[in-house]
Amino acid sequence: MSRKGALLRCAAAIAAAGALVGLIAAPAAAKPHHPGHGHHDDPIVIAHRGASGYLPEHTLEAYALAVELGADVIEPDLVLTKDGELLARHEPVLDETTDIAQHPEFADRKTTKLIDGVPVTGFFADDFTLAELKTLRAEERLPSVRPQSAAHDGEFELVTYDEVLDYVDDLDRKVITYPEMKHPSYYEDKGQSIEDALADLLEERRLDRKRSPVWIQSFEYQSLLNIAERVDNRIGLNIDGQGEIPDAQLDEYADTLDTVSLNKNRIIPRDANGFLLEPTDVVERAHDRGLDVHVWTFRNENQFLPADFRTGGGGAAWGDFAAEYELFYSLGVDAVFSDYPDKALAARDC
């Protein structure tokens, strides 16, 4: 096949919309990748909360679909239950991602708590035992944007990280899990330790080694230093926002971490209208210090894309997401977090 023909076929594969669940197949080019340390390998595709563009996030079904689509890594966010279990949920608050509102037996559990100093009202996972949480069902967090996923509301139960690890153990290929400890300071204020809960589980399952197929992440630097005292897994700091990361900070991270995981705007800032500005040199500077660079989050819909890549049809319509992948891949990032891992893989392999 000519180069032009190959590119046209790749473009068609990238542009193709996901089919109904059960019919989605990995693109032919999306061969399983075997991730390893080093920014000389192909970029790693991390399924952000599972294949969360297609199915309600942080369900076993969303993780399994991501694996079926060829993802290298699946990413469970972790919160604690009342009885200390690690539950796969994006936040301690259950309101936006479960059917808790349809359970009158739990109505008296609604409360207001401080998360990162901000009062939040809702139902909190740490006020429920795991047995109680197992009576809930997952719901799509963005139903107006992803109605195809919302069509599965009420079908899937909530899962623990232990159950996710059981699933991964039974696969016929290596898939890394990349748990994020959510709001460690929130639990510390309550007298709980999400770091100890995760370390205990990894030690029990003999997954606490440097080469274990488990990477650990958090937005709280101290939390990562704490868990590093107990386990030897690869560890990465999530950094939000936009703006320069000073060399002194990167030096410190290089001494204590393996990875910096950056908001896309840290690598390519956007102007007030959402258009891309000149890329920063943070990827190069991090690599010079031996740090891997992961970047988040890639989504297909116009409302999440830079203005440069938006197309017609409104915010929920898919824009030119392939161009965004191509741009970040060209900058040498080591991994991307994607809600649509098949599209990230197709763009990478094209």
Annotated active-site residue 90? The verdict is yes
Residue 154 has pLDDT above 60, yes or no: yes
Tell me the per-residue pLDDT of 45-95, one tens digit each, with 9 for 90 and over: 999 999 999 999 999 999 999 999 999 999 999 999 999 999 999 999 999
Q: How confident is the model at residue 41 (pLDDT cuts 50, 70, 90)?
A: confident
Residue 198 has pLDDT above 70, yes or no: yes
Contact 324, 301 (CB under 8 A): no
Tell me the per-residue pLDDT of 104-137, one tens digit each, with 9 for 90 and over: 999 999 999 999 999 999 999 999 999 999 999 9
Catalytic-labelled residue, pool 34, 39, 40, 48? 48
Residue 131 has a CB neighbour count (10 Å cut-off) of 11
Catalytic-labelled residue, pool 58, 90, 152, 183? 90
Q: How confident is the model at residue 38 (pLDDT cuts 50, 70, 90)?
A: low
* CA–CA gap between residue 276 and residue 305 (Å, rounded): 10
Which helix (H) or strand (E) segment holds residue 293: the answer is strand 292-298
- Which amino acid would we find at residue 325? Y
Annotated active-site residue 103? The verdict is no
Running DSSP on this structure, what letter comes out for residue 210? T
Residue 16 has pLDDT above 50, yes or no: no
Tokens of 140: 């799509």
Q: How confident is the model at residue 350 (pLDDT cuts 50, 70, 90)?
A: confident
pLDDT at 40: 52
Q: Residues 49-58, buried b or exposed e (16+ Cβ, 10 A)?
A: bbbbbbbbbb
* CA–CA gap between residue 250 and residue 289 (Å, rounded): 8
Contacts of residue 288, defined as CB under 8 A and 6 or more positions apart, other chains included, come to: none
